[in-house]
Structure formats: C-alpha cells, structure tokens
C-alpha cells in the first residue's frame, strides 16, 4: 500500500512518463531514479529510520520504484516502436508497383549485325579493331595504293576537312593502322562508320562497313573464299550459301574481286534462285600496301574484304529503304530491333 504522498508522487510521475518523448523520458528517469533522483532519495532515507518504520515505508517506496521503472520501460518500448514504424514507412520500397511504363529499349539492327559478325569471326580467331572517323589522307588513300591523281578517289567522293583530313570513305585505313602497329600474323575485322557524298534510297552519306584483314605466311585466295563462304553461310543461316567471287578492281588488292551471293531476286530468298547479288569487295592485299606498311611482301601474303553492313542487314531482315536506319523512329525500331537480353551467339544459330 502506498501512502498518500507516495501515491501523489506516483500519479504525477506516471502522468508525465505517459506523455514524454524520448528526451523527456530520459530526463524523468534521471530526476526520479538517478543518483539524486527523488525515488532514490526516498530509498536512501530508509537508512535513517528505525526498523519498524523502515519496514512500513520500505515496501511502499520499493513498490513505487518498481512501478516507475516499469512505466519508464513500457514508455520507452512504445516510443522505440513508434520510431521504427515511422522509419519503416519512410524507407518503404513498394515492390508491388508496376514497372515503369516506358517500353524496353531495343538493339538497332546495325548494332545487332555487328554483334553477329563479331561472334562469327571471333570463332575463327579474328580480333576486332576500330579507328577514327576522321582520317588523314595517307591512311585513307595513299598507303592503300591510291595516289592523289588516281580516279579511285573520285569513286569514293567524300567530305574533306579544312586541315586536309577526310571523313574516312571505307574501313580500310584501319588495315594500315594495324599493320603499322603490330607484326603478322594478323587476323582482324573492323566494323565501323564510313562516309561518302551520296544520298538516295540505297546510299547514305554515313553508312557502315566491316573490313576483314588476314596477313600470314602462305595465305591464298582459297583461304579468302573459304573464310567469306563460312561467314556468309553463318550470317544468313543458309548452309552452303552460293558465294561467287567476280573479277574487279581495287587499287589496294591484286587480284581484286566483288563478292556476290546467290539469291532469288523476285522473292528475296537468300541462297535460292539463280540470281547474284553483290555484297562487298575483296582481294589479295597488294604488295605495295604491305610494303607501305612495313611488311615484307615476299614473306607475307594476305587477303582483305569489305562488306556493307546496311546492305547485308537489309537483305537478312527484309528492310527495303536504307534511310529508315537513321530516322530514329521508335515504332520502326520496336519492329526491327532486337532484345538486349538475347545476345548474338553462334550456338544459338546467330
Ligand atoms: N574498301 C573497299 C570499298 O570500300 C572494299 C574492299 C575492302 C575491297 C577490302 C577489297 C578489300 O569499296
């Protein structure tokens, strides 16, 4: 039983504890139960009492202490729980939210073609190289056996920059850069942007090529044809795709050949029919080019080829206007684009 005094003290303490915040609660604890807190002082006062009085008062004061201690822990638990609830609400992540309304992006068909080419040639041991869009005249023309008076420069009419550089007309300057920077054997492909002053349904001032270059001892035209046939069969998914090498001229190769594939002009079917379609140029690297790049043509031979990436992408996917590649029309991209989640691999058949 509590005396009236203790009861008053208890009621007042419980009232204050019940509404205290964390800081106030700590202050109350100190003022009630701390070293010189009021309850502590009461407990201390027991020492000066005679045994009878101590017994009578002690029970009440201890009861008071227990009740206050319990009330403080209860209040503290309530405050802690409220703080946790507030924090959880603030840091909440709503996993039931629907995904962002924007549709997934898609891989552009030209990028996809580059990935596929990389996978096919990667399996044949080729490395991928790139070079700058802005080239010097020597890398783009002279080193490739195209002197300044040569009519081949007119065939590749390009954009000249004020410093005398050009926007590269083909990926072939990367052949030069590679031969100058590493010794044979060389096996590289060079996918990249190229530029010519042309614009219609099948020509764009900016387009893409993929160059190939192999320099090793004992390389022959047979290797060239085998390599291109394997690549084109894998790329178009047509086993034994007919490939024809047709005599042509490039200043940087000798002999030079256009690369044609068999198709059906009427239906567009690749590998069927009796028609031929040109998809690139090729040849055995001209001895002058090897010599210009510091490679002994008596010891090393090589082949090179270049294919137009828009052309083979259009053929593979039935796209009939080259300009659509560059219009950034999202509807077109959604139709012709590829999922970023299904990368090009040979074992999946490209
Ligand atoms: N560079 C040539 C072109 O753009 C293509 C080619 C590359 C031909 C390599 C032969 C060897 O027309």
Q: What is the pLDDT of residues 266-307, one digit of tens each?
A: 999 999 989 999 999 999 999 999 999 999 999 999 999 999
Shared domain check, 194 and 147: yes
Which of 281, 286, 312 is the best mutation target for the ligand 1 pocket, counting ligand atoms within 8 Å of the beta carbon and taking the most?
Answer: 281
State if residue 192 touches ligand 1 by the CB under 6 angstroms criterion.
no
Gap between the Cα atoms of 292 and 192, Å rounded: 23
Shared domain check, 128 and 53: no
State if residue 281 touches ligand 1 by the CB under 6 angstroms criterion.
yes
Shared domain check, 328 and 288: yes
Kindly report the average pLDDT of the chain as a whole number.
93
Residue 99 domain flag: no
At which of 63, 90, 117 does a domain end? Answer: 90
- Span from the CA of 116 to the centroid of ligand 1 (angstroms): 20
Shared domain check, 151 and 196: yes
Residue 316 domain flag: yes
Gap between the Cα atoms of 37 and 122, Å rounded: 82
Shared domain check, 23 and 124: no
Tell me the residue range of the domain where 49 lies. 4-90
Shared domain check, 157 and 11: no
Number of domains forming the structure of the chain? 2
- Span from the CA of 5 to the centroid of ligand 1 (angstroms): 106
Which of 189, 190, 248, 304 is the best mutation target for the ligand 1 pocket, counting ligand atoms within 8 Å of the beta carbon and taking the most?
Answer: 304
Instruction: Give the residue from 338, 332, 329 showing the smallest Cα distance to 105.
Output: 338
- Span from the CA of 143 to the centroid of ligand 1 (angstroms): 14
State if residue 212 touches ligand 1 by the CB under 6 angstroms criterion.
no
Mind listing the pLDDT tens digit for each residue in 329-338?
989 999 999 9
Q: Which tokens sit at 337?
A: 């684009």
Residue nearest to atom 9 of ligand 1 (CA): 305
Alpha-carbon 98 to chain mean position:
24
State if residue 283 touches ligand 1 by the CB under 6 angstroms criterion.
yes
Shared domain check, 123 and 82: no
At which of 90, 117, 139 does a domain end? Answer: 90
What confidence score (pLDDT) does residue 101 get? 67
Shared domain check, 204 and 316: yes
Q: Which tokens sit at 73?
A: 């822990």
Shared domain check, 135 and 27: no
Is there a contact between 214 and 303 (Cβ–Cβ < 8 Å)?
Answer: yes
At which of 62, 90, 118 does a domain end? Answer: 90
Residue 212 CA: nearest ligand 1 atom is 9
Which of 188, 209, 212, 302 is the best mutation target for the ligand 1 pocket, counting ligand atoms within 8 Å of the beta carbon and taking the most?
Answer: 209
The model's pTM: 0.71
Residue 228 domain flag: yes
Residue nearest to atom 3 of ligand 1 (CA): 170
Residue nearest to atom 8 of ligand 1 (CA): 281
Per-residue three-class SS string for the chain: CCCHHHHHHHHHHHHHHHHCCHHHHHHHHHHHHCCCCHHHHHHHHHHHCCHHHHHHHHHHHHHHHHHHHHHHHHHHHHHHHHHHHHHHHHCCCCCCCCCCCCCCCCECHHHHHHHHHHHHHHHCCCEECCCCCEECHHHHCHHHCCCCCCCHHHHCCCCECCCCCEECCCCCHHHHHHHHHCCCCEEEEEEEEEECCCCECCECCEEEEEEEEEEECCCCHHHHHHHHHHHHHHHHCCCCCCEEEEEEEECCEEEEEEEEEEECCCCCCECCCCEEEEEEEEEEECHHHHHHCCCCCCCCEEEEEEEEHHHHHHHHHCCCCHHHHHCCCHHHHHHHCECCCCCCCCCCCC
Shared domain check, 113 and 82: no
State if residue 304 touches ligand 1 by the CB under 6 angstroms criterion.
yes
- Span from the CA of 306 to the centroid of ligand 1 (angstroms): 5
Which of 141, 158, 171, 172 is the best mutation target for the ligand 1 pocket, counting ligand atoms within 8 Å of the beta carbon and taking the most?
Answer: 172
What confidence score (pLDDT) does residue 4 get? 85
Residue 345 domain flag: no
Q: Give the residue ranges of the chain where pLDDT is below 50.
A: none
CATH, residue 204: 3.30.930.10
What confidence score (pLDDT) does residue 322 get? 87
Shared domain check, 300 and 183: yes
Shared domain check, 171 and 64: no
């Amino acid at each position: 039983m509590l005396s009236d005094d203790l009861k008053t003290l208890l009621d007042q303490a419980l009232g204050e504890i019940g509404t205290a915040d964390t800081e106030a609660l700590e202050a109350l604890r100190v003022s009630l139960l701390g070293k010189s807190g009021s309850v502590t002082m009461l407990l201390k006062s027991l020492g000066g009492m005679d045994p009878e009085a101590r017994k009578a008062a002690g029970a009440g004061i201890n009861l008071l202490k227990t009740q206050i201690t319990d009330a403080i822990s209860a209040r503290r638990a309530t405050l802690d729980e409220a703080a946790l609830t507030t924090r959880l609400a603030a840091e909440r992540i709503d996993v039931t939210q629907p995904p962002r309304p924007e549709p997934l992006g898609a891989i552009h068909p030209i990028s996809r073609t580059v990935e596929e080419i990389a996978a096919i040639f990667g399996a044949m041991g080729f490395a991928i190289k790139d070079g700058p869009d802005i080239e010097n005249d020597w890398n783009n023309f002279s080193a490739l056996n195209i002197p300044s008076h040569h009519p081949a420069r007119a065939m590749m009419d390009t954009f000249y920059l004020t410093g005398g550089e050009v926007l590269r007309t083909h990926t072939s300057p990367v052949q030069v850069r590679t031969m100058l920077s590493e010794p044979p054997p060389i096996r590289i492909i060079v996918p990249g942007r190229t530029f010519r002053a042309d614009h219609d349904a099948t020509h764009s001032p900016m387009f893409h090529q993929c160059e190939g270059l192999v320099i090793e001892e004992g390389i022959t035209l047979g290797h060239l044809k085998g390599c291109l046939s394997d690549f084109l069969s894998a790329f178009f998914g047509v086993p034994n795709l007919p490939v024809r090498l047709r005599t042509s001229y490039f200043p940087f190769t000798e002999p030079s050949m256009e690369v044609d594939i068999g198709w059906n002009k009427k239906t567009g079917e690749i590998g069927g029919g009796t028609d031929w379609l040109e998809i690139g140029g090729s040849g055995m690297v001209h001895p002058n080019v090897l010599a210009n790049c510091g490679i002994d043509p008596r010891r090393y031979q090589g082949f090179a080829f270049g294919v137009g990436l828009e052309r083979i992408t259009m053929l593979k996917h039935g796209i009939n206007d080259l300009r659509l590649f560059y219009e950034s029309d999202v509807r077109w991209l959604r139709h012709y684009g590829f999922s970023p989640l299904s990368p090009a691999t040979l074992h999946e058949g490209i």
